[in-house]
Structure 1
């Protein structure tokens, strides 16, 4: 089932190496903090585990690398420009790339 409203994602820099990400999907709110370059383990609803690492490139590009349960990798690159974010997603073993455009909401 598709969500009725688009999710809202907010990245907040807490200090030089730590960020917090907040995700709101309708009535649900998820939040967690992460340190750049530090791998974290996440458990999905189905119980499978993901390993996630974030890296910052300059002041406006955030890379997210996800090690999937099957050993493949997913790469998310978020480019923040003014009031926009351009996210590019690539997966191992596929020639396809997805590009998603976000805009800042008031």
Structure 2
């Protein structure tokens, strides 16, 4: 079956529109158990302070069916990371350490991350996107604790 270029573009645009989070900027408004879960896995004090004191904005933008760009705006810097779904990539964190990360999409509005830390521990992030907010649930290998971070759309 042949599909015209215009029809193909229209199909891709419709898929992107179904994703309520693509292209929106989010800022943290509340969190639960973040410090506790980080201490439970012996995270460095620097990482704990970054999580507690910094409220960067983030944005995920879908570039094509399997490729996204994540942008993180902090007070003093902008970080970008382009990734393909279901493929492990390396990313440099704000503290300078490197992590291995794999993103998967569940439906149109749940983005999951599996993050392999430099110390070998694994973190699981699950972002559940709504029209004007998102909730991120964090679990860490080696603990039965959960942390939750709530975000609102800022643009």
Aligned to 2:74: 25
Deviation for aligned residue 1:95:
1.5
Structure 1 stretches of 5 or more lacking a match? none
The reply on whether 1:39 has 2:74 as its aligned counterpart is no
Whole-Å separation in 1 of the counterparts to 2:104 and 2:113: 7
Whole-Å separation in 2 of the counterparts to 1:75 and 1:29: 23
Aligned to 2:124: 75
- Runs (4+) of structure 1 exceeding 2 A deviation are 1-6, 42-49
Structure 2 stretches of 5 or more lacking a match? 1-48
Give the number of aligned pairs.
Answer: 106
Deviation for aligned residue 1:47:
6.2
Match of 1:95 among 130, 144, 153: 144
Moved more, 5-14 or 78-87: 5-14
Query: Going by fraction, where is helix more abundant, 1 or 2?
Result: 2
TM-score (norm 1): 0.88
Cα 1:26–1:39 change in 2 (3 A) is: same
Aligned to 2:65: 16
2:54/2:74 contact within 8 Å kept: yes
Aligned to 2:110: 61
**Which of these two proteins has the greater Rg computed from alpha carbons?**
2
Q: Which has the higher contact order (CA 8 A, sep 6+)?
A: 2
Query: Going by fraction, where is strand more abundant, 1 or 2?
Result: 1
Deviation for aligned residue 1:27:
2.8
Kindly provide the CA deviation profile for residues 24-78 of structure 1, in whole angstroms up to 9, marking residues without a partner as x.
Answer: 0113111111000010123457764321100000000000100112222100000
Aligned to 1:85: 134
**Cα RMSD (Å) of the superposition?**
2.1
